Amino acid sequence: MTLFLAHGSPTTVISEPELRALVRQALGKLGAKRKVLAIPPDITRLNSRSGPCLGAVEEQYGQALTDVLPALGTHVPMTPEHIAKMYPGVPPAKFRVHDWRNDVKTIGEVDSAFVKQATGGVWDKAWPAQLNNLIWSGGHDLILSIGQVVPHEVMGMANGVKNLFVGCGGKLGIDASHFIGAAYGMERMMGRADTPVRRILNQALLQYCTHLPIVFILTVVGKARPGEASDHGLVTRGVFVGSGLDGFAEASALSQAVNFEQLDEEPKKVVCYLDPEEFHSTWLGNKAIYRTRMAIATGGELVVLAPGVKGFGEDPGIDRLIRTHGYRTTPQIMAAIQADPALAGSLSAAAHLIHGSSEGRFTVRYCPGHLTRAEIEGVGYAWGDLAEQTRRYDPAKLKDGWNVVAGERLFYVSNPALGLWAHRSRFAG
């Protein structure tokens, strides 16, 4: 395991040309390659700076970059328009589609004793390590996993091994990892680099994948400060390139400093905006809930402005399960798992339902662009008229953080995918 590049700090600003140059500099240390596979994120990580990183890979290797496999997880495939927007300059013909239900191989298991110890007894079954067949047996002499490190509801911090075993994993592994995280408790993991799910996936990498030529390219992206040159208000704060587990801890520490805001006051009203280009479903858009619920006051309200949301699940089967069971409390979802074999057979969906619940502690008012009031109320949320709520809480006029609108004090988040917010009383360590 080797760290080829570690560059960044909470005040560092890396321009796009600098980012490309840094990535190419690190790749230059690897020597010539004949067949390269890149695993970048999909459009749901539009702001990850993976575009310039993959662009640098294309510049470095040219025809030797034979395959690009977006880490879809359970998401829908990238459209040609998404590829052109996020990865300009990379030939579309190089892109492959990950099929999490069919195109995977179970490469081994992390044994039940390790899982039980890692989870503190919350889960005592062996965890199936699954990978897309192209990663496992594609014959590449370099596999580049690209993505952003940021607080995450299942892993604690996103990326690293998650990009492989979840982003390019199979149903069994995704189901189990998501449910382990939900059962262990989001609040015990979000914003932390060392979590039960992370330990299990790290073990799978060390146990089964040391022969694969995997190198991680990790970015940290944050909000620009006044006077800083930025791209839509965002700046790249760090980039880390390394094999094995090297680099992830450093990237996580920087992300914790850049992407995690601890509040001294509990907001009674939080308003989140979901960019319609990035968020088309509650499966993705519920980051508005995951990332803010440790901040919201008991009895408060979360208003989700979601102009692009037109469904619940990215996968049709999961969409049906969300519509059937809704975002209820953890005890209700646990009972539903016992009663419904379909939900028991889709534990990632069950975990998502738990993640998307306020546990009855505050109101979630969803304001979708393409779902009806009956659909929203049917899954357990309060309905909000998008036009009316947008007039009241205009994203063009609000600034990230505290605002006062018509005498009402509220906390605004322009993109919940970029961070984590918590009241100090709800986060220890």
Q: Which of 259, 281, 297 is the last residue of a domain?
A: 259
> End of a domain among 259, 287, 318?
259
Is 70 exceeded by the pLDDT of residue 199? yes
Give the count of beta carbons closer than 10 Å to the beta carbon of residue 149.
Answer: 32
- 268 with 226, same domain: the answer is no
Tell me: do 277 and 417 sit in the same domain: yes
The total number of structural domains in the chain stands at 2
Q: How far apart are CA 17 and CA 306, in angstroms?
A: 33
| pLDDT 10s digits, 104-160 | 999 999 999 999 999 999 999 999 999 999 999 999 999 999 999 999 988 999 999
By C-alpha distance, which of 181, 241, 178 is closest to 38?
Answer: 241
What is the CATH classification number for the domain harbouring 245?
3.40.50.11440
- Give residue-wise pLDDT tens across range 281-290: 999 999 999 9
- CATH number of the domain enclosing 405: 3.90.226.30
Full domain range(s) for residue 401? 264-426
In this predicted model, what pLDDT tens digit does every residue of 13-72 receive, in sequence order? Answer: 999 999 999 999 999 999 999 999 999 999 989 899 999 999 999 999 999 999 999 999
Predicted confidence at residue 74, as pLDDT, reads 87
Paired tokens of 207: 């146990």
Q: In this structure, are 241 and 306 located in the same domain? A: no
- Tell me, what's the pLDDT at 81? 96
**Predicted TM-score of the model (pTM):** 0.90
| Confidence at residue 312, expressed as pLDDT on a 0 to 100 scale | 97
Q: Report how far apart, in Å, the C-alpha atoms of 265 and of each of 275, 418, 428 are.
A: 26, 21, 16
pLDDT band of 410, cuts 50, 70, 90 = very high
- Structure token pair of residue 218: 């990790």
Query: Same domain for 178 and 270?
Result: no
Same domain, 84 and 144: yes
Residue 363 is predicted with a pLDDT of 98
Instruction: Write down the pLDDT at residue 107.
Output: 98
Q: Name the burial class of residue 242, with classes exposed (0-12), middle (13-18) and buried (19+) by CB atoms within 10 angstroms of its CB.
A: buried
Which alpha helices (DSSP H) does 260-409 contain, by range?
282-285, 287-290, 316-325, 330-339, 341-344, 347-355, 373-378, 386-392
Mean pLDDT of the chain: 95
* Average confidence (pLDDT) over 335-353: 95
Instruction: Please determine, for residue 1, whether its predicted confidence score (pLDDT) is greater than 90.
Output: no
Residues 239 and 383 reside in one and the same domain: no
Question: Does an H or E element contain 59, and which?
Answer: helix 50-61
- Alpha-carbon distance of 35 to 138, in angstroms, equals 9
Distance CA 135, CA 310 (A): 32
178 and 304 share one domain: no
184 and 209 together in one domain: yes
CA distances from 416 to 233, 270, 291, 314, 400 (A): 14, 11, 6, 18, 11
Give the burial class of 303: count Cβ atoms within 10 A of its Cβ; 0-12 exposed, 13-18 middle, 19 or more buried: buried
